[in-house]
Chains A and B, each alone.
Chain A
Amino acid sequence: AQSVTQLDSQVPVFEEAPVELRCNYSSSVSVYLFWYVQYPNQGLQLLLKYLSGSTLVKGINGFEAEFNKSQTSFHLRKPSVHISDTAEYFCAVSAAAGNKLTFGGGTRVLVKP
């Protein structure tokens, strides 16, 4: 079985400041890792994913994440946030040979002017 823990339920941050959202996973097999973003009153959108290869993954809107196998982490970062990055962010994992996506509890990012 796999599981995902997002360590922060809410992250307030000032505009143009950097942000890091933490995600740790648990799995006994090889995994794929994802970050999704949910803007207010919308469904989830895929932000970025790690399937294999380079452990540093770049996504849309200037976000990037780093896969760290030894620490079983997949933290999301952005060097300078905008007001429009206010959203909820979900980390998710699937087994490489699996049949389901498992989501974390979500992290609400509130960007303040």
Chain B
Amino acid sequence: EAQVTQNPRYLITVTGKKLTVTCSQNMNHEYMSWYRQDPGLGLRQIYYSMNVEVTDKGDVPEGYKVSRKEKRNFPLILESPSPNQTSLYFCASSLSFRAMNTGELFFGEGSRLTVL
């Protein structure tokens, strides 16, 4: 089954404790992206990757890091989480950048993160 898998789905942590949210897709997609969803603000892009070893900042990259060492994986790293990073996070992938721009994005089920 074609899917985007995120882990963990739920996490409660404390300020300053490094954490990683993993994202894996099995569709051989080139493009991958991370979003955060906050009430009334919709989805805002954190980082994206056009292909292996190619990453770039989105609209809200502060406090986050990413890497793309393999095509299927795109982990999101919070080096020192703070309470304002409490949010619902989505990973998404697309066959290509062009497919993304025509709306063909496949989303994971989300990871709800709470930072105390």
Binding site for B on A (CB under 8 A): 4, 6, 9, 32, 34, 41-46, 49, 51, 90, 92, 94, 98-101, 103-106
What are the interface flags for B93-116 relative to A under an 8 Å C-beta threshold, 1 for contact and 0 otherwise? Answer: 000010011111111111000000
18 interchain pairs, CB-CB under 8 A: A32-B103, A34-B103, A43-B109, A44-B43, A44-B107, A46-B105, A49-B103, A51-B102, A90-B42, A90-B43, A92-B103, A94-B101, A99-B97, A100-B58, A101-B103, A103-B35, A103-B44, A105-B40
Q: How far is the CB of B66 from chain A (nearest CB, A)?
A: 16
Alpha-carbon separation in the docked complex, A6 to B40 (Å): 9
Contact residues, B1-53 vs A (CB, 8 A): 4, 35, 40-45, 48
Taking chain B's interface residues, is the majority helix, strand, or loop, or is none over half, making it mixed?
Answer: mixed
Which of A9, A43, A98, A104 contacts B4, CB < 8 Å?
A: A43
Size category of the binding interface on chain B: 20 to 34
**B41 lies within 8 A of A43 (CB):** no
**A45 lies within 8 A of B107 (CB):** yes
**A32 lies within 8 A of B101 (CB):** yes
Residue of A nearest to B44 (CB): A103
Residues of B within 8 A of A9 (CB): 40
